[in-house]
Amino acid sequence: MTTSSASPKKTARKTAPRKRSASAKRTAAKKSPAVKPVSVLIVGAGFAGLGMAIRLKQAGIEDFAILERSNAVGGTWRDNQYPGAACDIPSNLYSYSFAPNPNWSRSFSGSEEILGYIHHLVAEFKLESHIRFQKNVEDLSFDEKKGVWTATTDKGEKFAGRAAVMAQGPLSNCSFPAITGIEDFKGHKIHSARWDHDYDFAGKKVAVIGTGASGIQIIPELVKQAKHLKVFQRTPGWVMPRPDFATPQWNKKLFEKLPASQQAMRNLLYWTHESMALAVIWNSPLTRVAERVARLHLRRQVKDRWLRRQLTPDFTIGCKRVLVSNDYYPALQKDNAKLITWPIARLSEKGIRTVEGIEHQVDCIVFATGFDVSHSGTPFPVKGRKGRVLGDEWQGGAQAYKSINVSGYPNLYMTFGPNSGPGHNSALVYMESQLDYAVKGVQKILQEDLKVLDVKEDVQRKHNKTMQKRLAKTNWNSGCKSWYLTEDGFNATMYPGFATQYAAQMADFEENDYETA
Amino acid sequence: MASIDLDKMLAKIKSTQWALSDIDWDAPGAELITEEQWPKLKDFMADLMWIEHVGARAFAAMAKKAPTDTLREIYTYFHAEEQRHANAEMALMKRWGMLEGDEIPEPNINLRLVIEWLDRYSDEMPVYVLGTVVPMLEIALDGALCTFLLETVKDPVCHQAFEKINDDESRHLGVGFSVMEMQGRGKTFIGATKMLAPLLDPRLMLGIASYVPLLNKMRDNIITMGLPEERLYAAMAKFEKIGGRTEDGRRNPWFQVIRQHAKFVVDRNNRAYHMPVDGMVKLTGLIPRRALPAVPSWVKELTYQPTA
């Protein structure tokens, strides 16, 4: 996986809320719904959920529970363990400022090391006892009279909290893409986010479908193992060089002995990435410079003109996720690798049929086709005041206030909610602002013993009007198709500005923006 | 010709895909190729295959410049479909024992020059230039050649393959003429003049210099193979008839340019045109192969094998 910013690549798909099984419903009916509420109920034990827990603890709030659907923490970094998985933001920036790690082995760490860091957070901040594993939330409902959110799991268990934090992550669900004939293929199928570590690629003919953030990391690794690798590309992305190097021992010691030096490095990385917004978010002269750098990178690594043409994007840099790799282009040019840019007609029993009429027969297909990103629904039904259902309200595209609250759904906080995605900076920088904002909201609920802390509808509407006006001027809305946008071109994903602006937006908790009861 | 709904056309294209493996290339019938036919057919098929392949590359260039996402995707499909036709025609050649090993037949020098031009400059051309030339090539060369082939060759596998190819081509032409009309819609005199501006572009001049002798060369080849040249002219007249059916189509200045050029080609008595162009054919025939750069790698994508 990767990213920065918000995430790896994805396939926009409307996620329908899952239905509870009949037995689960029966179980739920038998049990009493009277569950003692904790102060804060957190859904998800990935970076966001655990970060939330840490900030709550640091604010003196210990009464919280984390519901995790899996049996382990780590979220997207637990799931994305494919060969070559790494973050494309430097580790000193892709980590929490309140939990620095002086021992990152590389400037861009792999997923295993990042997962190790997440485990370290759990141990360091003693979070284990707060986590309820294998609690797959299937419903989240607000009781206005009591001022309590109740989460119901697929087994009918109920958990309640005075406030709730949806930290399930935008990139936690994946599925095989809807390619015609996918059920006909008799070979092995692997999704990048659900890697099959038992499958031996040696001597196998392998296809990779997808050349986004995950694909370009998997390909250089698979080409070393497979007998033959065919890479099926739909749209080439902009690929920038990756300044990746091993961290020298003295550097680790320096960061350990002098934490200020690591903070200084973080600041340097932060401002370097901030400056990239000028190239990536808006179409400016710097956009041309960034495209020039990417073109030079391509020209330096690929000598064949036709291959270069196949790999040259036809959209403005930044419109889709910017990719970072030093070994992707060389991997494509290995003797046992081939880039296929013909459209896929269908999958057949033995492989992939492309429109030029050839059936590419393979033993295994790796789908690096991204995640099921919901722009217009919720991963499970979320029911607010007066029977409102969030998924219904978001049919035309998700909207929130400052990305974190939604009017009609009091005391509910979202991490990576609508319009919080970065395209140029660390996702965790944005996340920290969200966590601190949520803590302020929770503190107000608890200190003033509020049942309802609900953002005003007109405030939310005004905020979104501004967001969409600003988004219209960004590269994301410049015409390319990406997972950032709905089918209708509505951008419910990205934040149109610098990370510094986002942090400023989240710095103040304006009480007047909220209705209380 | 009424404008077509490009979104519906794209859906139709996607739902009517076929692969080389849908055809049994070892089915009986190859023996129906006579000994007399064989050598002529070999040259004929090689030319046909290369025209398809050149058309494929032109569609790739058009996809880069397509004005809408739908048209871009359609052209991307057409690029691949033309390649499929070339692959299928190579498979027929293989079936008829016209290929030695994995050898790809050599393109004639005029095709080779067109390949070179397409490789270097086609991506820079506005979509309306290639968008008019390609339907002409498809209807005139491809259309005339395919009809002739089916009349001459009795092999059922050949008929089976060309039934599929012709279905694709009818969609290519449908889109081609529709786009020509789109480009002519509401064009003012100034707008139309602007569309002709690329004629002053030296890169396009080079393209014309490779396209014009190609037509005469192909005419000569076709006659050698026994196809009456009137057939070719009849196909070219079809271009004029369909392309000029609506006012929008006629208002497209590139339609007028290509139509006028077709008239020159058809009129054997037009010595002012044919003498220099035939001279160019002879002259280009003198270019040593060694003087040309290596073929671009997209040329090597051709294959007769249904599976890879």
Does A178 contact B at CB distance below 8 Å? no
Q: Name every chain B residue with its beta carbon within 8 A of the beta carbon of A355.
A: 17, 77, 80-81, 84
B23 → chain A, closest CA residue: A357
Cα gap A356→B81, rounded to integer Å: 5
Predicted confidence band of residue A489 (pLDDT cuts 50, 70, 90)? confident
Determine contact, residues A157/A33, Cβ cutoff 8 Å. no
Domain A188-238+282-367 in this protein, CATH class: alpha beta
Among A396, A382, A372, A389, residue whose Cα is nearest residue A491: A396
Residue of chain A nearest B16, judged by CA positions: A345
- ipTM for the predicted complex comes to 0.90
Residues facing residue A352 across a β-bridge: A347, A360
Q: For residue A120, is it left (φ>0), alpha (ψ between -120 and 50) or beta?
A: alpha
Q: Identify the bridge partners of residue A166 per DSSP, sorted by sequence position.
A: A43, A414
CB–CB of B296 and A306 under 8 A?
A: yes
Closest to B214 in 3D by CA, of B187, B232, B230, B239: B232
Return the residue in B172, B298, B300, B303 with the most chain A beta carbons within 10 A, the one to mutate for interface testing.
B298
A222 pLDDT exceeds 60? yes
Token pair, residue B306, equals 């249904």
Does the CB of A307 have a partner CB in chain B at under 8 Å? yes
- Residue A135 in this model has a pLDDT that exceeds 60: yes
* Nearest in space to B45 (alpha carbons), one of B109, B88, B102: B88
Taking the C-alpha atoms of residue A324 and residue A241, their distance in angstroms, rounded to an integer, is 6
Per-residue confidence (pLDDT) for residue B299, from 0 to 100: 84
d(CA A419, CA B187) in angstroms, rounded, equals 42
Q: What are phi and psi of A316, to 5 degrees?
A: -65, 135
CB B226 within 8 A of CB B39: no
Which residues touch A33 (CB under 8 Å, ≥6 apart)?
A150, A158
Cβ–Cβ of A304/B76 closer than 8 Å?
A: no
What pLDDT, on a 0 to 100 scale, did the predictor assign at position B146?
82
Q: Kindly state which CATH superfamily the domain A37-73+126-173+372-516 is placed in.
A: FAD/NAD(P)-binding domain (3.50.50.60)
Q: Domain-by-domain residue ranges, chain B?
A: 33-301
* A476's tokens: 């994301």
Residue A349 binned pLDDT confidence (cut-offs 50, 70, 90): very high
Closest CA to A182 of A71, A8, A369, A347: A347
Task: Choose among B21, B83, B297: nearest Cβ to A307.
Answer: B297
Residue of B nearest to A179 (CA): B14
A356: Cβ–Cβ under 8 A, 6 or more apart, which residues?
Answer: A342, B80, B81, B83, B84, B87, B301
The helix/strand/coil state of B256 is helix
Locate the chain A residue with the closest alpha carbon to B64: A314
- In chain B, which residues touch A (CB < 8 A)? 14, 17-21, 64, 69, 76-77, 80-81, 83-84, 87-88, 119, 123, 296-298, 301, 303, 305-308
All residue ranges of chain B with pLDDT < 70 are 1-3
Helix (H) or strand (E) holding A297: helix A285-301
The verdict on domain B33-301 having CATH code 1.10.760 is no
Judged by CB atoms closer than 8 Å, whether chains meet at A357 and B20 is answered as: yes
Hey, are the CB atoms on B296 and A305 less than 8 Å from each other?
yes
Q: How confident is the model at residue A3 (pLDDT cuts 50, 70, 90)?
A: very low
* Cα A398 to Cα A493: distance, rounded to the nearest angstrom: 8
A481 close contact with B: CB closer than 8 A: yes
Question: What pLDDT does residue A376 have?
Answer: 62
Reduced DSSP (H G I as helix, E B as strand, rest coil) percent helix, strand, coil of chain A, to 5 = 35, 20, 45
Residue B204, amino acid? L
Q: Output DSSP code: residue A511.
A: G
- Which of B105, B126, B3 is CA-nearest to residue B58? B126
Type of residue found at B159: H
pLDDT band, residue A340 (cuts 50/70/90)? very high
Question: Could you say which of B21, B77, B88 has the minimum Cβ distance to residue A355?
Answer: B77
d(CA A381, CA A151): 10
Residue of A nearest to B118 (CA): A306
Which residue spans of chain A are classified as CATH 3.50.50.60? 37-73+126-173+372-516, 188-238+282-367
Tokens of residue A333, six digits:
């040019």
Report whether pLDDT(A8) > 70.
no
Is the separation of the CB atoms in B107 and B207 below 8 Å?
no
As a whole number of Å, the CA-based R_g of chain A is 23
Closest in B20, B80, B301 to A343, CB measured? B80
Alpha helices (H) along B185-245: 189-196, 202-224, 229-243
Query: What stretches of B17-154 show up as alpha helix (H) in DSSP?
Result: 37-65, 69-95, 109-121, 127-137, 143-152
For residue B58, the one-letter residue type is: A
C-beta of residue A425 within 8 angstroms of C-beta of residue A175: no
Mutate to test the interface with A, among B15, B17, B53, B127 (most CBs of A within 10 A): B17
Give residue-wise pLDDT tens across range A55-112. Answer: 999 999 999 999 999 999 999 999 999 999 999 999 999 999 999 999 999 999 999 9
Asked if the C-beta of A487 comes within 8 angstroms of chain B's C-beta atoms, the answer is no
